[in-house]
A and B are shown apart, each in its own frame.
Chain A
Amino acid sequence: MAILADRNTRVIIQGITGREAATMPQEMLAYGTKVVAGVTPGKGGQRDHGIPVFDTMIEAVEKCGGDASVVSVPPLFAKDAVMEAVEAGIKLIIVLTERIPKSDVIEMLSYAEARGARVIGPNSPGIICPEETRLGYLGGSNPQKAYKKGPVGIISRSGGMCTELANILTRNGIGQSTVIGIGGDPVVGTIYTDLLPLFQQDEETKAIVLFCEPGGKKEEAAAEYIKEKFTKKVIVFFGGRFVDKMPGMRFGHASVIVRPGYGTTEEKIKLFKSAGCIVVENYSEIPQVLKEVL
Chain B
Amino acid sequence: MRLYEFEGKKLFKEWGLPVPDGELVEREEELLKGGKKIGFPLVAKVQVLKGGRGKAGGVKVINDEGELLEFGKKFFREGFLGKPIKGILLEKKLDVEKEFYLGITIDELAKRNCLLFTRGGMDVEEIARSGRVLKLHIDPFTGLKGFLTKGFFAKEFKGKTLLEISEIAVKLYDLYIKMDATMAEINPLILTKEQKFFCADSRIEIDDDALVRQKGNLERFNIPLREEKEREPTELEIKAREIDQLDHRGVAGRVVEFDGDIALIIGGGGASLTVFDAILRYGGKPANYCEIGGNPTVKKVQKLTELLLSKKGIKGVAVITNVLSNTRVDLVARGVIKGMLARGIDPSKFPVVFRVPGSWEEEGFKILEKYGIKYFTRDQTMDEAAKYIVDLLKKEA
Contacts and interface: CB of A to CB of B under 8 A. Distances in A.
24 contacts: A76-B212, A103-B177, A103-B180, A106-B106, A106-B111, A110-B139, A111-B141, A125-B325, A140-B326, A158-B273, A160-B325, A164-B274, A184-B269, A186-B108, A189-B111, A193-B109, A211-B270, A213-B269, A237-B274, A238-B277, A239-B277, A246-B230, A249-B256, A283-B274
Interface stretch (B71-79, B86-94, B377-385): B377-385
Interface stretch (B38-46, B161-169, B316-324, B331-339): B316-324
Interface of B: 106, 108-109, 111-113, 125, 128-129, 139-141, 177, 180, 182, 207, 209-210, 212-213, 230, 256, 267-274, 276-278, 280-281, 289, 291, 293, 321-326, 357-359, 378-379, 381-384
A83 to B, nearest CB: 11
Contacts of A253: 269-270
Shortest Cβ-Cβ A-B pairs, 10 listed:
A158-B270, A140-B325, A160-B268, A240-B273, A239-B273, A252-B269, A164-B322, A101-B210, A239-B274, A160-B322
Contact of B383 (A125, A158, A246, A284): A284
Interface string A178-222: 000000101111010100000000000000000101001110010
Contacts of A164: 271, 274, 322-323, 382
Interface stretch (A31-39, A87-95, A256-264): A256-264
A252 B326 CA distance: 18
Interface string A98-112: 011111001101110
Interface residues of A, number: 71
A271 interface: no
Nearest to A259: B125
Contacts of B112: 106, 110
Interface stretch (A2-10, A47-55, A141-149, A226-234): A141-149
A181 B390 CA distance: 31
A171 B324 CA distance: 16
Given A142-B359, A161-B268, A251-B276, 11 more contacts: A101-B210, A101-B213, A103-B180, A160-B271, A167-B323, A171-B379, A186-B108, A249-B256, A252-B273, A253-B270, A284-B384
A255 B322 CA distance: 20
Interface of A: 22-23, 75-76, 99-103, 106-107, 109-111, 113, 125, 137-142, 145-146, 156-161, 163-164, 167-168, 171, 184, 186-189, 191, 193, 211, 213, 216-218, 221, 237-243, 246, 248-249, 251-253, 255-256, 259-262, 281-284
B51 to A, nearest CB: 9
Contacts of B379: 171
Contact of B325 (A101, A139, A237, A252): A139
Given A102-B106, A102-B210, A160-B325, A283 B268 contact: no
